[in-house]
Amino acid sequence: MSETNARISQIVENNDVVLFMKGTPLFPQCGFSSRAVAILDHCGVAYESVDVLQDMEIRQGIKEFSDWPTIPQLYVKGEFVGGSDIMMEMYQAGELQQLMDEQQVAKAS
Amino acid sequence: MAMPAAEIEALIRAALPDAEVEIEALVDDGDHYRARVVSAAFAGKSRVQQHKLVYEALGGRMGGELHALQLVTAVPN
C-alpha cells in the first residue's frame, strides 16, 4: 500500500463521517462540493472534511482509493457512500439520514 | 476540455446498448451536463455500482476531459 493510500485509509478509519471535497465547508470551491456540504448540514451530523485542493497526493489518491473519478466523496464508518449525486438521491429518499442513524454517527454540535 | 453531449450519449450507448439516455447542458460550455441513464444493466446493483458502469462507459474521461456530469441512474420500470 502506498503512503498516500495509507494516509487516506487512516483518515476514513479515524473519522465516522468524512467528506473529501474541494475547499472547506465554509468556503467550498466547487458547486458539487458545496451541495455535498449542504446535504450533510441538513442531516445534522458531525463530519470531518478534507480539502483536496490543499493536498495533490490526496486529490489524486482518493480517486484510486475509492475507484471513483470525481470529488466530492463521502465516507461513513470507513465505507464509501458516493459522490454528491448519490448523496442527493439518498437524502431525498431518506436513506442517507437512515444510514447515519444506523451507523450511530454523532450529531453536529 | 470540452465534450459535446452527443459524444457522451454515444459512449454510454456503446457500453449500455439498451440505455435510455437524456442529457441536458447545465451551462453552455461543453463541460457541465446533467444525464439521466436508464438501463436494465443496473438491475440489482447499488447506486455506486450503477454510476461506475456509466463512468466506465465514459472510459476515463470523467473527472478529466469531462469535469461535471451530474448523474442519475435508474432501472426501467
ipTM metric: 0.86
Say yes or no for a CB contact (<8 Å) between B63 and A63. Answer: yes
Domains in chain B (CATH in brackets) are: 5-74 (3.30.300.90)
What part of A 50-109 touches B (C-beta under 8 Å)?
63, 67-71, 80-83, 85-86, 89-90
Where does A3-102 sit in CATH, by number? 3.40.30.10
CA nearest to A92, candidates B47, B21, B52, B77: B47
The residues facing B23 across adjacent strands are B35
Say yes or no for a CB contact (<8 Å) between A69 and B68. Answer: no
- Per-residue confidence of chain B (77 residues) as pLDDT tens digits? 578 889 999 999 999 999 999 999 887 777 789 999 999 999 999 999 999 999 999 998 888 888 789 999 999 98
Closest residue, chain B, to A80 (C-alpha): B48
Tell me what pLDDT residue B1 has.
53
Average pLDDT over residues A43-60: 97
Q: Which DSSP letter does residue B62 get? A: B
Tell me what pLDDT residue A105 has.
94
Min Cα–Cα distance to chain B from A109, Å: 30
The residues facing A19 across adjacent strands are A49, A74
- CA dist A28 → A31, A76, B10 (Å): 7, 20, 33
User: Measured between CB atoms, which of A63, A70, A86 is closest to B48?
Assistant: A86
Residues of A in contact with B47 (CB under 8 A): 82, 86, 89-90
Mean pLDDT for chain A overall: 96
Closest residue, chain B, to A60 (C-alpha): B63
Which pTM does this prediction carry? Answer: 0.92
Say whether pLDDT at A21 is over 90: yes
B51 touches chain A (CB under 8 A): yes
Say whether pLDDT at A97 is over 90: yes
CA nearest to A2, candidates A80, A70, A60: A60
Per-residue pLDDT band for A1 (boundaries 50, 70, 90) equals: low
Question: Cα separation of A27 and A23, whole Å?
Answer: 6
